[in-house]
């Protein structure tokens, strides 16, 4: 299952992405926020990244004003590889080389049209494995080394 989440700064872009996912027939769960009232991005990151980390969801898309804060928060969760992406090439590489399971966008820096292009590229890309898997294994080892 795909998850969506945004703070108030990413609400408009998240809404555009939700419409795009629906057009593509992709089922998703919206984890909030649902209006323009100020909300703390770590709470939204936890709602999405927590489910991905526990294996209760396959992937997610997060949006905050710039994408920076919410990506930092999301990447605190084991097994989460949240990639802040600003263009189509980065979206492809995030999946092909890093197997990013959460795509992060900036609501104040990304237009809805550009957001749809980025999401499409990320969804359509496939993880290449091989030498990239050994690098992900090193990331997993670091997570295990420093987790409680």
Active site residues: 64, 97
Q: Is 24 helix (H, G, I), strand (E, B) or coil?
A: coil
Q: Which helix (H) or strand (E) holds 63?
A: strand 59-64
Among candidate residues 5, 69, 58, the one with its CA nearest the CA of residue 32: 5
Identify the H or E element spanning 6: strand 2-6
Angstrom distance (rounded) from CA 15 to CA 4: 9
Cβ–Cβ < 8 Å for 135, 96: no
CA pair distance 103, 93, nearest whole angstrom: 11
């Amino acid at each position: 299952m795909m998850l969506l989440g945004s703070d108030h700064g990413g609400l408009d872009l998240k809404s555009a992405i939700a419409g795009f996912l629906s057009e593509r027939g992709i089922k998703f769960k919206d984890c909030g926020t649902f209006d323009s009232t100020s909300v703390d991005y770590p709470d939204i990151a936890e709602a999405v990244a927590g489910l991905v980390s526990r294996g209760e969801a396959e992937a997610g898309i997060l949006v905050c004003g710039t994408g920076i804060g919410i990506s930092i928060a999301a990447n605190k969760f084991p097994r989460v590889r949240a990639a802040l992406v600003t263009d189509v090439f980065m979206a492809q590489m995030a999946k092909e080389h890093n197997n990013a399971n959460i795509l992060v966008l900036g609501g104040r820096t990304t237009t809805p049209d550009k957001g749809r292009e980025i999401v499409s590229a990320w969804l359509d890309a496939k993880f290449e494995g091989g030498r990239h898997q050994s690098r992900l294994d090193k990331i997993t080892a670091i997570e295990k080394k420093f987790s409680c």
